[in-house]
Amino acid sequence: MVTAIGFEGSANKLGIGIIRDGKVLSNVRHTYITPPGQGFQPRDTAKHHRDHILSVLRKALDNADVTPDEIDCVCYTKGPGMGAPLVAVAIVARTVAQLWNKPIVAVNHCIAHIEMGRLVTGADNPTVLYVSGGNTQVIAYLMNRYRIFGETIDIAVGNCLDRFARVLKLSNDPSPGYNIEQMAKRGKKFIELPYTVKGMDVSFSGILSYIEDIAQKKLDGGECTPEDLCFSLQETLFAMLVEITERAMAHCGSNEVLIVGGVGCNERLQQMMREMVEERGATLCATDERYCIDNGAMIAQAGWEMFSSGQVTPFNETWCTQRYRTDEVLVTWRDG
């Protein structure tokens, strides 16, 4: 029996979760929400994490009904993410590891999303679409690494959605992407936007600047509604994502898709992916909202896998890094 606790705070969600042999014992989260029109800044986000981390930790232990001596390893997010928030959380993870006298495991945030997705869906070897505020990648496992087959060549899809939400001054509660999704449901008119796919790679910055440009003019002229713009943006961005996922599936000969990351909560994206997958006679692994959004349990799960395969991070290497690519990690817990 191995019990792992995971600390996550690479962006505006602070999360701590506890996992025991594939079972989620607790998963507590506290999200830093900024006023409409504003993104989250590193300093304020770090402060939010510092202010709440001890109460989140208390809750995670209480909900799991676990005492520190029952924990086998302390896992934390090494990166990628924002520097200050990462460090704020890592310091607490390091401190409790020393207090409790437990080994530490430094975890890659992207790998954690994938491992949590595999755990909750039972997916064996899926093509993974990882879509969040900071990442857009199509990933497949090959010879002990999660290899990136496709990626954004500029901004992430979540970033594109968030920034457009700011243009429309949509609320950041619970998340800008969620509010775009609700607006898009009421959109009717399809406005053509640039569509930029390069093999298995995509580019979103041209779409963002184009829609930012035309939005005010079209709205003022009564040509369309904000709902139409949200609808058109989603239809375009998601068509690109589904297209590169399909291209990677064909290229790798894969029959299974898993969507992870915050944007994976979007039901329209899930629906489009399902339509693509069904048409190919493949399967889409069900997405579970609770684990798509950044959380602590996923860090615990990836750490659990690493720890169980013999990996421990020496204390003097328990630092953080803002850039940490998915394919840098040697996957020691899966067959070659």
- Contacts to another protein from residues 248-267, by CB under 8 A: 249-252, 261-262
Closer CB to another protein, residue 8 or residue 305? 8
CB 8 within 8 A of CB 299: yes
- 140 binding another protein? (CB under 8 A): yes
Q: Is 255 known as a binding-site position?
A: no
Q: Which tokens go with 7? A: 């600390």
- Taking each helix axis from N to C terminus, what angle separates 226-252 and 205-220, rounded to the nearest 10 degrees? 160
Q: How far is CA 312 from the centre of its chain?
A: 24
Which DSSP category does 115 fall into?
H
| Sole binder of another protein in the list 280, 286, 308, 334 (CB under 8 A) | 280
CA distance 146 to 127: 10
Choice from 5, 11, 56, 111 touching another protein (CB under 8 A): 11
**Residue 92 to residue 203: CA distance in whole angstroms:** 37
Question: Which structure tokens are listed for 180?
Answer: 């775009």
| Shortest spacing between CB 72 and another protein, in angstroms | 29
State in angstroms the smallest separation of the CB of 162 from another protein: 9
Distances from the Cα of 184 to the Cαs of 79, 116, 240, 311, in angstroms? 32, 29, 17, 45
Q: Which two tokens stand for residue 312?
A: 């421990």
The CB-side HSE value for 48 (13 A sphere, CA atoms) comes to: 21
Q: Which residues, 147 to 176, sit near another protein by CB under 8 A? A: 147-156, 158-159
Exactly one of 8, 228, 246, 305 binds another protein (CB under 8 A); that residue is 246
Residues that bind another protein (CB under 8 A): 10-12, 79-82, 132-135, 140, 142-143, 145, 147-156, 158-159, 190, 192, 195, 197-201, 235-236, 239, 242-243, 246-247, 249-252, 261-262, 271-273, 275-276, 279-280, 294, 322-324, 327
Summarize the annotated binding site for a divalent metal cation as residue ranges: 109, 113, 130, 294
